[in-house]
Amino acid sequence: MEALYKHQIDFISYMQRLLQEGDFSSTYKFAFLHALADICIERDVPSNGQLVISFDEIVEKLILLYWQHAKPFFVEGEQLQGGILLQNSGKQAKIIADIIELQDSGARNLTQAKASTFWPQIYRNTLDTLKKGPLWRLQILSKQEDCYLFPHIKNRNYIELNPGIADCFRQFHDLVVQFARQGWIEKVSKIQENQSVIGRAGELSDFLFGTSRNSLKIAADLLKDIQHGNCFYCGKPLNEKAEVDHFIPFTKYNNDLAHNFVLAHRVCNNNKRDYLAAPLHRENWQDQNLVVHEDKITKELSAYFVCDAKRIAQVANWAYDIAEKNGNKFWFKTKDVFV
């Protein structure tokens, strides 16, 4: 237990150093760190603790993380200002131009992007960027490479996390993602050319890491049908103030996987906040979204969201494991009833 404890302190200290001493001239390193944290909770960690992550996985995740960033930023309800945010001091990041090309070709999400004729080239470009930059720059602290997370070995198309690192990413996922996003937002807002486009920082955060409202409307219609017009949590008929809820809270896992959505009363949704729902709700969610309606959700929503029931099931395992380990309470119903 003591050894494990020290290991966790080391991990957090390393993260702190990384963000303080690292050189972040572009946002790639934040994206890469975010990607690593996400992949660690989407996968099972092998018994030797050394998770192998292919460049394929990382490239896809980077494209996914930058997807929203390639759209023109504007403040909801105000006139479109039509600027795409720079991710680099100086020249725009290559990945943004590439994603714009994918989006212009009609791809609305990663699944469609992968089917696009532009994909192979953009995949190669992103791989190239990864290898030249964040792959080895991430672990440079005060100008020296410190391969605490993974050894930096050339001529491989994967990385192998050092023992215990994947478990730390799982344990501290929220923290690492917050670190990465905060740094990312700060970087984007400090770039001078962006300042004429950006209004308020809160809105920038929603834009960079939020969910498209139009797509949520489509998910809401489908869920209303699946749930027979009832609230997922309390089972009572929905009114016009129904909201799409991320079953595994968005603050814990910041990717919109279609199978993670349920429809709830605004009151129920607001009361649940960022808590995990009680195990009984989890059973119902698995039954509804991952078994009975798995195919239907994929069929109806794959044009708008990533559909991967297996992945969200893994993420749920992760979230509930950690919550149980930490002795967290689970939200059960409105008026703050926990179990």
Cα angle value 127/259/166 (rounded, 5°)? 50
- The distance of closest approach from Cβ of residue 229 to Zn ion in the complex, given in angstroms and rounded to an integer, is 12
Kindly state the tokens that stand for 312: 């969200």
- The distance of closest approach from Cβ of residue 224 to Zn ion in the complex, given in angstroms and rounded to an integer, is 13
- The distance of closest approach from Cβ of residue 260 to Zn ion in the complex, given in angstroms and rounded to an integer, is 18
Nearer to Zn ion, 130 or 231 (CB): 231
Kindly state the tokens that stand for 236: 């009572």
- The distance of closest approach from Cβ of residue 198 to Zn ion in the complex, given in angstroms and rounded to an integer, is 37
State the Cα–Cα distance between residues 37 and 220, nearest whole angstrom: 29
Kindly state the tokens that stand for 184: 């990312």
Nearer to Zn ion, 7 or 282 (CB): 282
Question: If we measure between CA atoms, which residue out of 163, 134, 151, 156 comes closest to residue 34?
Answer: 134
Nearer to Zn ion, 109 or 288 (CB): 288
Contact 51, 161 (CB under 8 A): yes
The residue nearest Zn ion at its CB is 231
Chain residues binding Zn ion by CB under 5 A are 231, 233-234, 265, 268
Nearer to Zn ion, 54 or 270 (CB): 270
Nearer to Zn ion, 34 or 272 (CB): 272
Give the residue ranges of DSSP H helices in 154-305.
Answer: 165-171, 173-190, 201-209, 213-226, 266-272, 279-285, 294-301
- The distance of closest approach from Cβ of residue 223 to Zn ion in the complex, given in angstroms and rounded to an integer, is 13
